Chains A and B, each alone.
Chain A
Amino acid sequence: MKKVVFVMFVVLMFVSMGFSEEVFKDGVLTIAVEKDARSLDPIVVADNASFQMYTQIFDSLVSVTKDLEIVPSLAEYQTEDSKVWYFTIRDDVKFHNGDPLTIEDVVYTFETVMDPETSSPNYENLKVIESIEKVDDKTVKFTLQYPFSAFLERVYTQPIVNKALREADPVAYGLNPVGTGPFAIEKWEKNNQLVLVRNEGYWMKYPNLKKVIMKPIPEPSVALVNLEAGDVDLLMKVLPDDFDRISGNSNLTLDVKPALNYYYLAFNVENKPVSNIDVRKAIYMGVDMNAIIDTVLGQAGVRAMSSLSPSSWAYNPDVEKYALAYNPAEAMKLLSEAGLAGGFDITIYTPQDTYRRKIAELMQIQLQAIGVRAKVESLEWASYLPLIDAGKTSMYTMGWNWLTDPDGLIYDIHHSQLEAWETNGSSYNGTRFYSQEVDEALEAARKSSNIAERTQLYQKVQEIWFSNYVHIPLFHKVATAAFNNRVHDFEANAIEYTFLCTPDTNVYVDEK
Chain B
Amino acid sequence: MFRYLVRRLFLLLLVLFGVMILVFAVGRMIPGDPARVMLGERATEEMVQNMRVKLGLNEPVVVQFGIYFINVIKGDLGTSITQFQPVIKIIQSNFMATFELALMSVIWAVLIGIPVGILAAKKKDTIFDYTSMTIALFGVSMPVFWIGLIFILVFSVQLNWLPASGREIGLFDAFGELFRTGDFSVLWEAFSHIIMPSLALGSMFTAMIARMTRSSMLEVLDENYIETARAKGVKESRVINRHARKNAMIPVVTVIGMQIGSLMGGAVLTETVFAWPGIGRQLVEAIFARDYPLFQGIILMAAMFFAVANLIVDLLYGVLDPRIKLQ
**B-binding residues in A (CB < 8 A):** 35, 38-39, 41, 44-47, 116-117, 119, 121, 123-125, 170-171, 174-175, 189-193, 215-219, 221-222, 225-226, 228-229, 231, 380-383, 385-387, 400, 412, 419-420, 423, 425-428
The residue from A119, A124, A171, A426 contacting B54, defined by CB atoms under 8 A apart: A119
When C-beta atoms are compared, the residue in chain B nearest to A191 turns out to be B277
The residue from B39, B45, B281, B289 contacting A121, defined by CB atoms under 8 A apart: B39
**A46 CA / B82 CA spacing, docked (Å):** 11
| 8 tightest A-B CB contacts, nearest first | A425-B45, A382-B32, A192-B277, A191-B277, A124-B42, A217-B275, A225-B164, A119-B51
When C-beta atoms are compared, the residue in chain A nearest to B288 turns out to be A380
Contact A190 B43 (CB under 8 A): no
Contact A226 B42 (CB under 8 A): no
How many residues in B have their beta carbons less than 8 Å from beta carbons of A? Answer: 53
Q: Which residues of B contact A426 (CB under 8 A)?
A: 36, 39, 43-45, 48
When C-beta atoms are compared, the residue in chain B nearest to A380 turns out to be B288
When C-beta atoms are compared, the residue in chain B nearest to A230 turns out to be B160
The residue from B32, B48, B51, B278 contacting A425, defined by CB atoms under 8 A apart: B48
Spot the interface stretch: B83-91, B204-212, B217-225. B83-91
B324 at the interface (CB under 8 A from A): no
**A400 CA / B40 CA spacing, docked (Å):** 12
CB distance from B232 to the nearest CB of A (A): 58
Q: Which residues of B contact A121 (CB under 8 A)?
A: 38-40, 42-43
CB distance from A78 to the nearest CB of B (A): 28
Q: B151-179, CB under 8 A of A: which get 1 and which 0?
A: 01100110010011111000000000000
Q: Which residues 266-315 of B sit at the A interface, judged by CB distance below 8 A? A: 272-275, 277-278, 281-282, 285, 288-290
Q: Which residues of A contact B157 (CB under 8 A)?
A: 225, 228-229
Contact B94 A190 (CB under 8 A): yes
- A125-B165 contact given A116-B47, A219-B272, A386-B33, CB 8 Å threshold: no
Contact A221 B149 (CB under 8 A): yes
Q: Which residues of B contact A428 (CB under 8 A)?
A: 41-42
**A219 CA / B90 CA spacing, docked (Å):** 22
When C-beta atoms are compared, the residue in chain A nearest to B149 turns out to be A221
Q: Which residues of B contact A228 (CB under 8 A)?
A: 157
Contact A219 B273 (CB under 8 A): yes
B50 at the interface (CB under 8 A from A): yes
Interface centre among B32, B48, B50 (most CB of A within 10 A): B32
Contact A217 B165 (CB under 8 A): yes
The residue from A116, A229, A383, A412 contacting B42, defined by CB atoms under 8 A apart: A412
23 A/B residue pairs, CB under 8 Å, sorted by A: A41-B84, A119-B54, A121-B38, A121-B39, A171-B84, A174-B85, A191-B277, A216-B275, A219-B272, A225-B157, A226-B164, A229-B164, A231-B166, A382-B290, A383-B31, A385-B37, A386-B33, A387-B31, A400-B41, A420-B44, A423-B45, A426-B39, A426-B48
Q: Which residues of A contact B160 (CB under 8 A)?
A: 229
The residue from B50, B83, B164, B274 contacting A38, defined by CB atoms under 8 A apart: B83
Contact A190 B93 (CB under 8 A): yes
Q: Which residues of B contact A385 (CB under 8 A)?
A: 36-37, 41
Contact A381 B37 (CB under 8 A): yes
CB distance from B26 to the nearest CB of A (A): 14
Q: Which residues of A contact B93 (CB under 8 A)?
A: 189-190
**A190 CA / B290 CA spacing, docked (Å):** 19
CB distance from B128 to the nearest CB of A (A): 34
The residue from B44, B51, B156 contacting A427, defined by CB atoms under 8 A apart: B44
CB distance from A165 to the nearest CB of B (A): 15
